[in-house]
């Protein structure tokens, strides 16, 4: 390089710069295309949900940005229309809340107790329990539904709220234990040892020391479980079996069955179910991403 | 001290153990048992037929496995296609965004964009993609784009052709799960030791060489992890298929996870559905063993 004339040096750096410039241009282009591919599907449905039925029938949603005639009528219609597959979306929303809240709280209680024992006690079977949890995390729920249903029939809780709460609690427990065990293991042992001097029993250590220290993990877990149950379709179909109790997801699925091409209703309905998870995503992004990432294997 | 604490530990694990046994362990055993019987909703054990269901599944059920005609088809083949494409595509797209967006001004923006589908229910995602794939170029954006670029082209019914529909559903799943791959790969990428990359730059390695010889080999662990997660997702797949295509056209999008449900709950063939469930369990077993082996080393 020392022997090159100033002229060829400039030339070289020019071509290098050209290559770098093209490369970074290609990088930006790739990212923009990927971003568009990921954004367009949901954006298209959002725009459609804000257009009138007549407009939707007349032209594609991508033309409507020029017209700019948007309104919320489809949402009003989907919430109030009594012609829709009963009971209607208002009831679906209430049902979703009734199903989701206990199904979020219960597994966290059940799982944190088990995770506590696995991490902080010397119970002989604790390693076995942990291995069992790992194995159960990947069991496909499909293979459990029928036997559980026949058990429900025996106890006469088919189609009850209790039935769906119990199912979600059980199905949510393996992953919750997995996440909490990992978090509990990071609590320094000295804290627990000194707590054993102050506290009379495990319950006090659990409620006064371990749970308060684990709030970030509990938050990630609660958010993950909430969104998982809110988005659940199959367990609701299998265990509720009655139109009056169906949550939003089943509402949409029935809507799709009845009105395959009524896109104004389908779009508004789908966006109604997406609203809550999306709000959670934007408001609590860090916890949400952490929960989902840790929960990669659940399902 | 220890003995005093012990009875409490047993109380702590009781609810979790009861739930796991009732909802996961026992039902799975029960399903394996039912797979050897002909049966219906009221009586799942009408007649013992040994391996009869398995024989029929592997040789005489065109919806499950059909290999005497090219191309091979059926739920088993469709699931294998899922197992090949879902991990590959999510990892490729996730890696592209994780590596290329790293350090860009808009990094967090594009990462949010790619991650958002993880928050959306499979039901809503199904509505979104039915809309994208719509065969009317005035409604479906994909056909609109294609007929805009190639005006002579007939609009393609993406979900209506047997050979194509499975890939269309898989792409919807890729759209959902790429965010997970991206998040995990991005975290791993940012944790790579800088010195090695700097040394490679000093040695004159191009960006391309650095990626293939250094970055990619060092990401083996997260990529393997994602491969396992996506294979599990592919094996368990049910809700996207249920809402988007109901397994059609002519079984073109049936997958194992969906067949279990349909045979049991739509066709009322408990034993037959259970047998498909057993095949699903057999396919998932190596993954469970692999995870347990990994864990044993940690404990």
Among A6-15, A154-163, B66-75, B148-157, name the one with the lowest average pLDDT: A6-15
Confidence (pTM):
0.91
- pLDDT range class, residue A12, cuts 50, 70, 90: low
The CATH T-level fold of domain A79-294 is MetI-like fold (1.10.3720)
Inter-chain CB pairs, A–B, below 8 Å: 275
Tell whether B122 lies on the interface with A, counting CB pairs under 8 A.
yes
Ranges assigned E (strand) in chain B = 37-38, 47-48
Residue B264 included in any domain: no
Q: What residues have CB less than 8 Å from B71, skipping those under 6 apart? A: B163
Count, residues in chain B: 299
- Out of A26-35, A242-251, B1-10, least confident range: B1-10
Average pLDDT over residues A251-273: 89
Residue A136 contacts B where some CB pair is shorter than 8 Å: yes
- Whether residues B6 and A293 touch (CB distance < 8 A) is answered with no
Give the residue, B151 or B234, on which the prediction is more confident. Answer: B234
Which among A284, A292, A296 is the top mutation candidate for probing chain B, defined by the most B β-carbons within 10 Å of its own β-carbon? Answer: A296
Q: What is the DSSP secondary structure assignment for residue A284, as one 8-state letter?
A: S
Looking at per-residue pLDDT, the higher value among A245 and A68 belongs to A245
Q: Does B118 touch chain A (CB under 8 A)?
A: yes
User: Looking at chain B from residue 191 to 230, which residues have their Cβ under 8 Å from any Cβ of chain A?
Assistant: 207, 225-226, 228-229
Beta strand pairing call for B47-48 and B37-38? antiparallel
Tally of helices (H runs) and strands (E runs) in chain A: 16, 0
B243 interaction partners in chain A (CB closer than 8 Å):
233, 252-253, 256
- What are the DSSP calls for B119-158, one per residue? GS-HHHHHHHHHHHT-SSTTT-HHHHHHHHHSTTPPPP-T
Contact B112 A285 (CB under 8 A): yes
Angstroms from B154 CA to nearest CA on chain A: 17
Q: Report which DSSP code applies to B21.
A: I
Report the gap between the CA of A117 and the closest CA in chain B (Å): 6
Give the distance from residue A87's alpha carbon to the nearest chain B alpha carbon, in angstroms.
18
Q: Does the distance separating the beta carbons of A281 and B16 come in below 8 Å?
A: no
Give the N- to C-terminal CA distance of chain A in Å, as an integer: 59
Quote the pLDDT of residue B194: 84
Question: What is the C-alpha to C-alpha distance for residues A123 and A120, in angstroms, rounded to an integer?
Answer: 9
Chain A closest-CA separation from residue B204 CA (Å): 14
Distance CA B251, CA B74 (A): 7
Q: B87 lies in a domain? A: yes
Structure tokens at B217: 């080999």
Q: Give A296's DSSP letter.
A: T
* pLDDT (tens digit per residue) in B160-191: 998 899 999 999 999 999 999 999 999 999 88
Percent of chain A with pLDDT over 90: 48
Contact status of A231 with chain B (Cβ, < 8 Å): yes
Token pair 């790739």: residue: A30
Could you tell me if B82 and B170 are in contact, meaning their C-beta atoms sit under 8 angstroms apart? yes
**What is the number of structural domains in chain B?**
1
User: Is B68 a member of any domain?
Assistant: no
Query: Which stretch, A77-81, A151-155, B39-43, B70-74, has highest mean pLDDT?
Result: A151-155
Residues in CB range of B56: below 8 A, 6 or more apart = B272
Tell me how close the Cα of B263 comes to any Cα of chain A, in angstroms: 11
Asked whether B131 and A44 are in contact (CB, 8 A), the reply is yes
Phi, psi angles (nearest 5°) of residue A270: -60, -40
Q: Which pLDDT belongs to residue A59?
A: 83
Can you tell me the ipTM of this complex?
A: 0.91
Q: Is B282 on the interface with A (CB under 8 A)?
A: no
Query: How confident is the model at residue A19, as a pLDDT?
Result: 75
Q: Which residues pair with B73 in a beta bridge?
A: B66
pLDDT tens digits for A239-261? 998 888 999 999 999 888 888 88
Q: CB–CB of A134 and B117 under 8 A?
A: no
Tokens of A227: 């969104």
Helix A215-231 / helix A285-294 crossing angle, nearest 10 deg? 80
What is d(CA B219, CA B213) in angstroms, rounded to the nearest whole number? Answer: 11
A148 chain-B contacts, CB cut-off 8 A: 22-23, 27
Q: Is the pLDDT of residue A3 over 50?
A: no
Residue with tokens 């029960």: B30
Q: In this complex, is the C-beta atom of B255 within 8 Å of any C-beta atom belonging to chain A?
A: no
Looking at beta carbons, which residues of chain A come within 8 Å of B20? Answer: 132-133, 136, 170, 173-174
8 Å CB contact between B56 and A185: no
Averaged pLDDT, A185-212: 85
Domain boundaries, chain A: 6-71, 79-294
User: Would you state the pLDDT for residue A4?
Assistant: 45
Full domain range(s) for residue B80: 75-253
SS3 call for B42: coil
* Residues of A (67-106) whose Cβ lies below 8 Å from B: none
Indicate whether B45 belongs to any domain.
no
> Residue B37 pairs with which residues in a beta bridge?
B48
A2 pLDDT higher than 60: no
Tell me whether A26 touches chain B (CB under 8 Å): no
Is the CB of residue B25 less than 8 Å away from at least one CB of chain A?
yes
Q: What is the CATH number of the domain that holds B153?
A: 1.10.3720.10
Tell me how close the Cα of B105 comes to any Cα of chain A, in angstroms. Answer: 11
Q: To the nearest whole angstrom, how far is the Cα of B123 from the nearest Cα of chain A?
A: 6
pLDDT of residue B77 exceeding 60, the answer is: yes
Binary contact (A134, B280; C-beta < 8 A): no
């Amino acid at each position: 390089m020392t022997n090159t004339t100033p002229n060829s040096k400039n030339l070289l750096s020019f071509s290098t710069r050209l290559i770098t410039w093209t490369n970074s241009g290609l990088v930006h282009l790739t990212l923009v295309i990927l971003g568009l591919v990921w954004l367009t599907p949901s954006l298209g449905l959002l725009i459609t949900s804000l257009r009138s039925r007549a407009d939707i029938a007349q032209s594609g949603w991508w033309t409507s940005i020029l017209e700019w005639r948007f309104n919320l009528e489809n949402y009003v219609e989907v919430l109030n229309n009594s012609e829709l597959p009963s009971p209607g979306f208002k009831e679906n929303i209430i049902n979703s809340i009734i199903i989701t809240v206990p199904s979020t709280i219960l597994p966290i209680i059940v799982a944190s107790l088990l995770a506590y024992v696995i991490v902080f006690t010397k119970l002989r079977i604790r390693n076995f329990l942990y291995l069992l949890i790992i194995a159960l995390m990947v069991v496909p729920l499909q293979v459990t539904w029928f036997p559980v249903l026949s058990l429900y029939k025996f106890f006469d809780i088919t189609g009850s709220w209790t039935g769906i709460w119990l199912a979600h609690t059980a199905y949510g427990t393996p992953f919750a234990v997995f996440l909490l065990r990992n978090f509990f293991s990071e609590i320094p042992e000295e804290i627990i040892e000194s707590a054993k001097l102050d506290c009379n029993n495990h319950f006090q250590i659990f409620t006064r020391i371990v749970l308060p220290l684990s709030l970030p993990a509990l938050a990630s877990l609660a958010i993950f479980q909430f969104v998982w149950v809110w988005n659940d379709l199959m367990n609701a179909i299998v265990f509720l079996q009655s139109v009056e109790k169906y949550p939003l997801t089943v509402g949409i699925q029935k809507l799709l069955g009845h009105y395959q091409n009524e896109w104004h209703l389908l779009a508004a309905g789908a966006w109604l179910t997406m609203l809550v998870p999306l709000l959670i995503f934007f408001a609590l992004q860090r916890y949400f991403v952490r929960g989902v990432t840790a929960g990669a294997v659940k399902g | 001290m220890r003995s005093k604490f012990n009875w409490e530990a047993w109380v702590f694990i009781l609810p979790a153990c009861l739930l796991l046994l009732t909802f996961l362990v026992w039902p799975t055993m029960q399903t394996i048992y039912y797979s050897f019987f002909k049966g219906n909703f009221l009586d799942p054990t009408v007649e013992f037929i040994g391996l009869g269901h398995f024989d029929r599944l592997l040789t005489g059920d065109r919806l499950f496995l059909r290999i005497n005609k090219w191309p091979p088809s059926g739920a088993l083949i469709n699931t294998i296609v899922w197992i090949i494409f879902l991990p590959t595509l999510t990892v490729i797209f996730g890696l592209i965004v994780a590596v290329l967006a790293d350090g860009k001004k808009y990094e967090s923006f594009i990462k949010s964009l790619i991650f958002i589908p993880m928050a959306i229910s499979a039901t809503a995602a199904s509505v979104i993609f039915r809309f994208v794939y719509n065969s009317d170029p005035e409604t479906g954006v994909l056909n609109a784009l294609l007929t805009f670029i190639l005006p002579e082209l007939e609009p393609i019914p993406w979900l209506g052709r047997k050979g194509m529909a499975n890939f269309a559903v898989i792409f919807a799943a890729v759209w959902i799960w790429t965010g997970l791959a991206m998040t995990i790969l991005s975290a791993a990428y940012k944790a790579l030791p800088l010195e090695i990359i700097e040394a490679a730059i000093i040695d004159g390695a191009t960006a391309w060489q650095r990626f293939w010889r250094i970055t990619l080999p060092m990401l083996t662990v997260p990529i393997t992890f994602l491969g396992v997660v996506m294979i599990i997702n592919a094996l368990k797949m049910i809700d996207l298929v249920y809402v988007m295509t109901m397994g059609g056209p002519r079984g073109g999008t049936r997958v194992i996870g969906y067949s279990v449900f349909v045979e049991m709950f739509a066709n009322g063939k408990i034993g037959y559905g259970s047998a498909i469930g057993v095949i699903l369990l057999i396919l998932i077993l190596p993954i469970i063993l692999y995870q347990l082996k990994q864990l044993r080393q940690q404990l």
